[in-house]
Amino acid sequence: MLDKDKLDWIYNKLFTIRFFEERIKKIAKEKSVPGYLHTCIGSEAICVGVMAALNKDDWISSTYRNHGHAIAKDCNLNQITSEIYGRSTGICKGRGGSMHISDFDRGMLGSFGIVAAGPPVVLGAALQEKINNGSKNSVSFFGDGAIHNGAFHEAAGLAKLWNIPMLFVCENNGYAEATATDWHLNTKELSDISKAYDMVAYRGNGNDVFEVFNLTNKALEESRNKQTPIFLEFKNYRFSGQYEGDTQLYQPQEEIENAKKNDPIKLAIDNAKNHNLTKDDIETYKKNALDAVNSAFDFADTQPWPKGEDALQEVYVNYPKEVN
Amino acid sequence: MPIKTVKEAINDALVQSFENDKNVILMGEDIAGGKGREQYQGTQDAWGGPFGVTQGLFTKFGGERVRDTTIAEAGFFGAAVGAAMTGLRPIVELMYVDFAGVCFDQMMNQAAKVRYMFGGKQKVPMVVRTVVGAGFRAGSEHSQTLYSLYTHIPGLKVVAPYDAYDAKGLLLSSIQDDDPVIFMEHKRLYMTSCEVPDDLKPIPLGKGKIRKNGSDVTIIAIQRMNLFAEEAAKELENNNISCEIIDPRSYSPLDEDLIYTSVKKTGRVIIVDESNPKCSLASEISSLISENCFSDLKSGVIKITAPHTPVPFSPPMEDFYIPSSKKIGDAAKELLNA
């Protein structure tokens, strides 16, 4: 049985991510938000379940669909929002934007806009841990679209060859951009791809935060004990489009309605009684999450823009100043 | 003072860096070599890379720090980025710079940008050692220089030493540097030698070198082109033409002051670059001179580069492709109406 603190954390994060994404979608539609937005409605259980199994300073990589990972990695919600708004107090000082929300101090190596950029980078962090006898876990998040990219395969091959403990976490959300996963897969199951590397793989229901949590714990332990990478596939559904503004004409209404039956937030609420949580508890989680989201957006609204010339900062650690 | 080849000087710098900092590791294809057949080769490193530059490192420092990789540049370049961010100082070997295409994303979009786009908390202290250059009859896919490809990217530093002294001093610096550095080694220079003190100190990146003082014309020579510049300068003495030869050594950052000081003195410039001409170091340096020294120029800047073609294979064609001391000499004579 999970302790109450852990349950509080899990439910708070689930609701925070959902409310945050609903809010930013609304703002993008009604007003505008600079740049591209990729929201993660439907991925909450994967973000929260995996992160619940990790320590605060464990290494992860994320993607352009990163809001949920960043929130679940305990990045500051005000700073996340400010970054999406392009303000100087943003988590990346306004130099990243929605696609690159990342905080190195929270173990985030990066949120990469290039599909499959993350796995090799996480391999490197895990290699460093191995060489230095470190204790941090290393986890790379990527989508089903990434499994066709060479960078994923090259990282998988090296991780297995070098006996590097790390997790390859694939969020199989049914779509690679506007292409259906059942069309692009060459194998029966996505995780069959790991057989090419003789890599252990587990598949789980990505809508069930507790299943994600338990499977991740199991994989982390096995990965450490056997000094081996492990592939985790979590199936879920991408309710959001590829990006905000996507007409989603390719996602049939019937499919969306079916997926709603397994909505990760709904499942978590249904599951609450198994964890001795009451309706009041759920209402409290919701209220706290909504308050946090509201205050984050209120905060971001008041934040100053960076100055244009702030663009010149921190390209290098050291570089002759005349160049900038 | 010991005489060292460029190859030996680089090996010395690697050994010294490995000894001084336990965080330094090396990854690449066949940097040891012979993996899986150790029992047959009588040594633990059969190759030391295709040019033997890393010979002995595996034996000295072991497989934990000297890691032969699969032929998977995107994989181990990305790993170097992650390892560098989390505390190591990885050196990765790109066997030929021509292979940049299969791992450019890791340099262009990750190594170069994580510090900037994630708010300045990361640093990526990694070095890419790579082999460049024509003149080996190695064909179009094993002979390019591609200096400007990396120089173009903010966040990367680019270094290209000419002699053994600079190779050692600049590699020591590159490994100690906190930014990602592309360190380019010219395959036709590996066996050239000069005096290199054993206790050579790291040479700061971004400082060029005057290889020869002169007063009539400034020859800015990139890496191996210093050889031809020196030959031409010697020849031109017979025509009473005094050449100043500048070797920038580092292209990002670039020692602009050194170049401008020389140009202001001579008023005449020849830039020699083995790369293709379009958007090259030669065109970049030429444009900087136009912007900064226009009124000092007595004549237009002359660029001597390879033609806008891939590197050809057949010896007469490849020899035609590479700039020569004759071309430099002819250009100088024309500049001075000699």
**Which residue of chain B comes nearest to A99, CA vs CA?**
B117
| CA A245 to centroid of chain Cα atoms | 21
Question: Of the candidates B72, B114, B157, which has its C-beta nearest A154's C-beta?
Answer: B72
Cα torsion A96, A244, A189, A253 to 10°: value is 170
Using alpha carbons, select from B241, B235, B249 the residue that is nearest to residue B218: B241
Q: Assess A306–B contact: CB distance below 8 Å, yes or no.
A: no
**Which residue of chain A comes nearest to B288, CA vs CA?**
A323
Q: Do A121 and B81 touch (CB under 8 A)?
A: yes
Q: Do B67 and A124 touch (CB under 8 A)?
A: no
Question: What DSSP designation does B254 have?
Answer: B
**Cβ atoms < 10 Å from Cβ of B137:** 14
Phi-psi region of A97 (alpha: psi -120 to 50; beta: other; left: phi over 0): left
Count, residues in chain B: 338
pLDDT at B42: 76
Kindly indicate the confidence band of residue A323, based on its pLDDT and cuts at 50, 70 and 90.
Answer: very low
Contacts of A242 (CB under 8 A, 6+ apart): A38, A175, A177, A178
| CA A42 to centroid of chain Cα atoms | 11
The C-alpha R_g of chain B, in whole angstroms, comes to 20
Mean pLDDT value of segment B112-133: 98
Question: Of the candidates B70, B117, B178, which has its C-beta nearest A157's C-beta?
Answer: B70
Mean per-residue pLDDT over chain A, rounded:
96
Using alpha carbons, select from A282, A7, A126 the residue that is nearest to residue B86: A126
| Rounded CA separation A267/A275 (Å) | 13
Q: Do A93 and B72 touch (CB under 8 A)?
A: no
Q: Assess B121–A contact: CB distance below 8 Å, yes or no.
A: yes
For an interface test with A, the pick among B25, B73, B86 (most A C-beta atoms closer than 10 Å) comes out as: B86
Mean pLDDT value of segment A264-277: 97
Q: Do A151 and B25 touch (CB under 8 A)?
A: no
- Residue A324 confidence (pLDDT) above 50: no
Q: Nearest CA to CA, how far is B110 from chain A (Å)? A: 8
Give me the percent of chain A exceeding a pLDDT of 70. Answer: 99
pLDDT at B110: 98
Q: Assess B108–A contact: CB distance below 8 Å, yes or no.
A: no
* CATH no. for B209-335: 3.40.50.920
- Residue A249 confidence (pLDDT) above 90: yes
- Residue A13 confidence (pLDDT) above 70: yes
Q: Assess A300–B contact: CB distance below 8 Å, yes or no.
A: no
Tell me whether the CATH fold assigned to B3-195 matches the one assigned to B209-335. Answer: yes
Q: Assess B107–A contact: CB distance below 8 Å, yes or no.
A: no
- Residue A144 confidence (pLDDT) above 90: yes
The number of C-beta contacts closer than 8 angstroms across A and B is 164
C-beta of residue B207 within 8 angstroms of C-beta of residue B159: no
In DSSP terms, B219 is beta-bridged to: B245, B270
Predicted structure pTM score: 0.97
Mean pLDDT value of segment A116-121: 98
pLDDT in tens, B250-280: 999 999 999 999 999 999 999 999 999 999 9
For B302-330, give the DSSP string.
EEEE--SSPPP-SHHHHHHHS--HHHHHH
pLDDT in tens, B174-219: 999 999 999 999 999 999 999 999 999 999 999 999 999 999 999 9
Sheet strand arrangement including B89-94: B66-68, B24-28, B89-94, B127-132, B181-186, B157-159, B250-252
Question: What DSSP designation does B245 have?
Answer: E
| Rounded CA separation A146/A233 (Å) | 12
Q: Do B119 and A158 touch (CB under 8 A)?
A: no
Q: Provide the terminal-to-terminal Cα distance of chain B, rounded to the nearest Å.
A: 40
For A178-224, give the DSSP string.
TEEHHHH-SSSSGGGGGGGGT-EEEEEETT-HHHHHHHHHHHHHHHH
- Residue A185 confidence (pLDDT) above 90: yes
| Among the ranges given (A54-68, A90-104, A245-259, B29-43), the one the predictor scored with the smallest mean pLDDT | B29-43
Strand pairing report for B157-159 and B250-252: antiparallel
Question: Of the candidates A59, A123, A315, which has its C-beta nearest B78's C-beta?
Answer: A123
Mean per-residue pLDDT over chain B, rounded:
97
pLDDT in tens, B44-92: 788 999 999 999 999 999 999 999 999 999 999 999 999 999 999 999 9
Q: Please list every residue in chain A whose beta carbon sits closer than 8 Å to the beta carbon of residue B120.
A: 93, 313-314
**Which residue of chain B comes nearest to A79, CA vs CA?**
B119
Q: Please list every residue in chain B whose beta carbon sits closer than 8 Å to the beta carbon of residue A131.
A: 25, 64-65, 88
Mean pLDDT value of segment B286-303: 98
Phi and psi at residue B56, to the nearest 5°: 95, -20
| Rounded CA separation A23/A45 (Å) | 18
Using alpha carbons, select from B300, B291, B239 the residue that is nearest to residue B267: B300
Q: Which ipTM did the prediction report?
A: 0.96
How do the domains of chain B map onto residue ranges? 3-195, 209-335
Q: Nearest CA to CA, how far is A156 from chain B (Å)? A: 8
Mean pLDDT value of segment A281-300: 98
- Which domains, and CATH codes, for chain A? 4-323 (3.40.50.970)
Q: Assess A59–B contact: CB distance below 8 Å, yes or no.
A: yes
In DSSP terms, A112 is beta-bridged to: A63
* Tokens read off for B147: 């200096």
Q: Assess A84–B contact: CB distance below 8 Å, yes or no.
A: no
Kindly indicate the confidence band of residue A125, based on its pLDDT and cuts at 50, 70 and 90.
Answer: very high
Question: Of the candidates A96, A126, A161, which has its C-beta nearest B118's C-beta?
Answer: A96
The one-letter code for the residue type at B261 is T
For an interface test with A, the pick among B108, B121, B291 (most A C-beta atoms closer than 10 Å) comes out as: B121
Q: Do A103 and B81 touch (CB under 8 A)?
A: no
Q: Assess B178–A contact: CB distance below 8 Å, yes or no.
A: yes
Sheet strand arrangement including B243-247: B209-212, B243-247, B217-221, B269-273, B302-305
pLDDT in tens, B301-322: 999 999 999 999 999 999 999 9
In DSSP terms, A64 is beta-bridged to: none
Q: Do B75 and A161 touch (CB under 8 A)?
A: no
Q: Active-site positions of B? A: 142
* Tokens read off for A183: 């069309």
pLDDT at A321: 64
Question: Of the candidates B74, B80, B121, which has its C-beta nearest A124's C-beta?
Answer: B80
Kindly indicate the confidence band of residue B93, based on its pLDDT and cuts at 50, 70 and 90.
Answer: very high
In DSSP terms, A230 is beta-bridged to: A167, A200
Q: Nearest CA to CA, how far is A239 from chain B (Å)? A: 27
Strand pairing report for B209-212 and B193-195: unpaired
Interface of B with A in 2-31 (CB under 8 A): 25
Question: Of the candidates A93, A109, A320, which has its C-beta nearest B82's C-beta?
Answer: A109
Cα separations (Å) of B30 from A23, A27, A162, B53, B98?
53, 54, 15, 11, 17
Q: Do A322 and B256 touch (CB under 8 A)?
A: yes
Question: Of the candidates B79, B102, B116, which has its C-beta nearest A123's C-beta?
Answer: B79
Q: Assess B207–A contact: CB distance below 8 Å, yes or no.
A: no
Q: Nearest CA to CA, how far is A87 from chain B (Å)? A: 12
Q: Assess B122–A contact: CB distance below 8 Å, yes or no.
A: yes
Q: Assess A95–B contact: CB distance below 8 Å, yes or no.
A: yes
Kindly indicate the confidence band of residue B329, based on its pLDDT and cuts at 50, 70 and 90.
Answer: very high
pLDDT at B41: 79
Q: Assess A57–B contact: CB distance below 8 Å, yes or no.
A: no
| CATH architecture assigned to B3-195 | 3-Layer(aba) Sandwich (3.40)
pLDDT at A1: 76
| Rounded CA separation B120/B194 (Å) | 41
